[in-house]
């Protein structure tokens, strides 16, 4: 449903959401959203105001009858520790975090999930009766999006990833935990290359997957890896912002029709890489699925409810 081919036409609008996508705080429909027991969840980021998460989670809370609201808070490195302590103080459900809070926050929680330990970053904190547990739902979101939208399971697959930053690491860890056969990352050979290579290859040592990091400039090796891969993931920002219209692949001929091509970028919806993939007949997906499923996973951790994905569509148009 989130592929660049099929996005659209699947979701329905939720009747309690107004045209500005803000939640209704009055008694329309006979049920108030805010009560004396309403719980708080939030987003700690800087900047925080452009996030889609408040609309997504508030819509989910309403639809599931969860007495909670989700707000975005401007939180940076200077006030992160106090903000996280407030999760306990205010008995919040938990929060989402963006970079660089994702890595710094690790020092302020009580426990880490398995994937969060391996990734070294958390995007979700769950308040379990005063104990703060850090999770990273980015890689889980990617794996779920692949299963739901592309109908492809990660187990036994070989994945080639362009870029070796935060998103690539979350995907590598989750893919390795899900039993991927091999993950190969292409990274520029700069001063951080060896450190990043060692860091990623440790994931392979701690799981049953092979994890390799290769020089981005090694096109011959890239062609060989793509020929034996089932998935190609663009985890660079090549294709968005000032790099819109550019492809992270030197040549479109490196692609083949049996390769699932996933661009983590979701704005624009169809990057140059995805256009090239579609042209040669390869299944092509943008980053909306990962974005939605990482949020849905956090929502489930806080509420024990499945996020009703069918009412989220217009948020992503
Ligand atoms: P990041 O930590 O900054 O990592 C970016 C990676 O891209 C780095 O490895 C960097 O290489 C590489 N890169 C940048 N420019 C390059 C170039 N010209 N040639 C080769 N490599 C280049 O960023 P991130 O958080 O992982 O995000 C990566 C992408 O994923 C972004 O487009 C982001 O919007 C997207 N994303 C999507 C979702 C989603 O839910 N869909 C979630 C997270 C991120 P060096 O290491 O050599 O600098």
Average pLDDT over residues 32-43: 89
Nearest CA, atom 38, ligand 1? 264
CA gap 145, 164 in Å, rounded? 20
Q: Name the residue among 228, 265, 236, 234 with its Cα closest to residue 252.
A: 234
SS3 label, residue 281: coil
- Residues 98-144 have pLDDT tens digits of 999 999 999 999 999 999 999 999 999 999 999 999 999 999 999 99
Say yes or no: CB of residue 164 within 6 Å of ligand 1.
yes
Answer whether residue 9 shows pLDDT above 50.
no
CA gap 305, 297 in Å, rounded? 10
CA 266 to ligand 1: nearest atom: 41
CA 288 to ligand 1: nearest atom: 41
Bridge partner list, 210: 182
Say yes or no: CB of residue 188 within 6 Å of ligand 1.
yes
The model's pTM is 0.90
């Amino acid at each position: 449903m989130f592929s660049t081919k099929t996005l659209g036409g699947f979701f329905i609008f939720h009747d309690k959401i107004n045209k500005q996508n803000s939640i209704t705080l009055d008694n329309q429909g006979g049920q108030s959203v805010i009560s004396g027991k309403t719980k708080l969840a939030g987003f700690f980021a800087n900047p925080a105001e452009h996030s889609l998460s408040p609309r997504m989670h508030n819509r989910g809370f309403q639809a599931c009858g969860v007495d909670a609201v989700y707000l975005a808070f401007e939180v940076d490195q200077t006030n992160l520790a106090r903000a996280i302590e407030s999760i306990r103080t205010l008995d919040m459900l938990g929060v989402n975090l963006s970079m660089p809070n994702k890595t710094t926050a690790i020092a302020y929680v009580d426990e880490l999930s398995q994937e969060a330990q391996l990734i070294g970053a958390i995007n979700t904190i769950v308040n379990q009766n005063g104990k703060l547990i850090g999770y990273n739902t980015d890689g889980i979101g990617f794996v779920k999006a692949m299963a739901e939208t592309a109908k492809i399971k990660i187990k036994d697959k070989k994945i080639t990833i362009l870029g070796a930053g935060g998103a690539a690491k979350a995907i590598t860890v989750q893919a390795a935990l899900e039993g991927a056969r091999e993950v190969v990352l292409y990274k520029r050979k700069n001063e951080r290359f060896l450190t990043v290579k060692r860091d990623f290859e440790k994931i392979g040592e701690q799981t049953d997957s092979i994890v390799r990091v290769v020089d981005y400039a090694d096109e011959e090796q890239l062609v060989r890896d793509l020929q034996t891969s089932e998935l190609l993931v663009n985890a660079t920002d090549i294709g968005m912002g000032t790099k819109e219209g550019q492809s992270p692949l030197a040549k479109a001929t490196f692609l083949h029709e049996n390769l699932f091509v996933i661009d983590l970028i979701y704005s624009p919806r169809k990057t140059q890489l995805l256009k090239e993939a579609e042209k040669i007949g390869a299944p092509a997906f943008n980053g909306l699925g990962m974005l939605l499923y990482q949020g849905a996973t956090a929502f489930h951790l806080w509420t024990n409810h499945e996020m009703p994905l069918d009412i989220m569509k217009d948020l992503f148009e």
